[in-house]
Every structure is written in structure tokens, then in C-alpha cells.
């Protein structure tokens, strides 16, 4: 792998034989092709669970389709009358899928996860603001604008600008990951976190009158 190549999703190879009948297991390592028994979850990163490449520019509709497909196949309700081991496995599969889906569907958590996957986890707890005054100043300026908004139209204009900025930052993050620039990807992720928090607060502000 070159320094700028995206790492492949990692998944432990499927077991050679079914735990129940010793028959062959399907290529995804999910079901026995002989007896149909659900197999135990394999260690895998979130991208690999859905058979998707590990990258920020994720095809979200494809993620959603794969998530609902796998949930239908492995939902615990489908295994209520099966062996206790299969019921346990289905619960584990469902929990793993939910965790992976919730992480990957949102840009901020996807970027944070991908940074951690590449060995550059964000420090968390707001510590990053110490090293990036530009991001902090920009966030403060936006909040001042929101506080001074005199009408719903003013709030809508601020929301539109912030949403456009968030989309622009997402493109910057995707480019940084593609170039292997994890420092830039981390700065972009931090800025996106501030923008998303600001958007949440601005939408709440839109729903109530200015005091």
C-alpha cells in the first residue's frame, strides 16, 4: 500500500466450517450453506461489516441498503425458535450492525472513526481547540451572528451559510483523506464538529422567539 492509498477494510477470514454441522460457510461468513445456521460475528471494522471500502467519501445510500438487508437477515426475531447459540449470535450481529451504521452514516463520527482506524484518533474532550485558534474564533463569530439575529429570516440566512460551509468542509475532509493528509483531515473534522453543533443550536434558535 502506498502512503496515500486508502487502507482496505479489514475482516477476519470466514471460518472454514460451520460450528453446528461442520459444513461449508458462505463467502460472507454469515450462514452455513449446508444447514443454514447463523455463524458467530467475525472481528471486522465498521466498513468491512457492510462490504464497503474504508473511506470518508462513503456511498451513504449503499450503506443504508446494505444495513437494512443485513438487519432483515439477522434480526433476533428471525431466530426466536432457533438454537440458543444462534439467538445469541443474532443479537451480537444486530448490535454490531447498529453500532457500525450509526457511526458511518454521520460525517463527523465517520471521519473520527476513520482517523482512529488510521492510527490518528482525535483527543476529544475539547482539547483540540487549544491548537487551532482559527477554528475557535470562527465558531465564536458565528455564534455572535446568531445571537444578534433579529428575525427568523436572519436565522435562516445564517443556517444556510453554515450548512454550505459544512458541505465545503466535508469536501475538504474527503480530499485530505484521499491525499493521506491525516493532520488536515483532523482539523477539518474538528471544524465540522463545531459547524454541526452550531447548526443544531441555530435550528433550536429558529424555533423560539429572540429574548
- What pLDDT digit, counting tens, does each position of 109-138 carry? 999 999 999 999 987 545 454 456 777 787
Q: Where do the structural domains in the chain lie, given as residue ranges?
A: 8-105, 123-206
pLDDT at 206 over 80: no
Please give the average per-residue pLDDT across 29-56, as a whole number. 94
Predicted local distance difference test score (pLDDT) of residue 121: 92
- Give the lowest-confidence range in 6-10, 83-87, 156-160, 206-210: 6-10
pLDDT at 6 over 50: no
Yes or no: say if 40 and 56 are a contact pair by the CB < 8 Å rule: no
At the fourth CATH level, the homologous superfamily of domain 123-206 is HscB, C-terminal domain (1.20.1280.20)
Strand residue runs (E) in 131-196: none
Residue 12's contacts (CB-CB under 8 Å, 6 or more residues apart) are 42, 43, 44
Yes or no: say if 120 and 132 are a contact pair by the CB < 8 Å rule: no
pLDDT at 7 over 60: no
pLDDT at 94 over 90: yes
Coil/strand/helix, residue 44? strand
Predicted local distance difference test score (pLDDT) of residue 177: 97
Yes or no: say if 53 and 7 are a contact pair by the CB < 8 Å rule: no
**pTM of structure:** 0.83
Distance between CA 40 and CA 92 in Å, rounded? Answer: 8
Predicted local distance difference test score (pLDDT) of residue 115: 97
Confidence of residue 211 (pLDDT cuts 50, 70, 90): very low
> Over the stretch 47-73, which tens digit does the pLDDT of each residue have?
999 999 999 999 999 999 999 999 999
CATH number for region 8-105? 1.10.287.110
Amino acid at each position: 500500500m502506498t502512503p496515500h492509498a486508502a487502507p482496505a477494510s479489514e475482516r477476519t477470514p470466514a471460518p472454514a466450517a460451520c460450528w453446528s454441522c461442520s459444513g461449508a460457510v458462505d463467502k460472507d461468513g454469515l450462514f452455513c450453506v449446508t444447514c443454514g445456521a447463523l455463524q458467530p460475528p467475525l472481528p471486522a471494522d465498521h466498513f468491512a461489516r457492510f462490504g464497503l471500502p474504508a473511506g470518508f467519501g462513503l456511498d451513504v445510500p449503499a450503506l443504508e441498503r446494505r444495513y437494512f438487508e443485513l438487519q432483515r437477515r439477522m434480526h433476533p426475531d428471525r431466530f426466536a425458535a432457533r438454537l440458543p447459540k444462534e439467538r445469541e449470535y443474532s443479537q451480537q450481529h444486530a448490535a454490531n450492525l447498529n453500532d457500525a451504521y450509526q457511526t458511518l452514516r454521520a460525517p463527523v463520527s465517520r471521519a473520527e472513526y476513520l482517523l482512529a482506524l488510521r492510527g490518528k484518533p482525535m483527543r476529544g474532550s475539547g482539547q483540540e481547540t487549544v491548537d487551532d485558534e482559527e477554528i475557535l474564533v470562527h465558531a465564536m463569530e458565528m455564534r455572535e451572528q446568531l445571537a444578534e439575529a433579529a428575525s427568523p429570516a436572519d436565522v435562516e440566512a445564517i443556517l444556510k451559510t453554515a450548512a454550505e460551509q459544512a458541505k465545503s468542509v466535508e469536501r475538504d475532509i474527503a480530499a485530505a483523506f484521499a491525499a493521506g493528509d491525516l493532520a488536515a483531515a483532523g482539523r477539518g473534522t474538528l471544524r465540522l464538529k463545531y459547524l454541526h453543533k452550531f447548526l443544531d443550536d441555530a435550528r433550536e434558535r429558529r424555533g423560539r422567539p429572540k429574548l
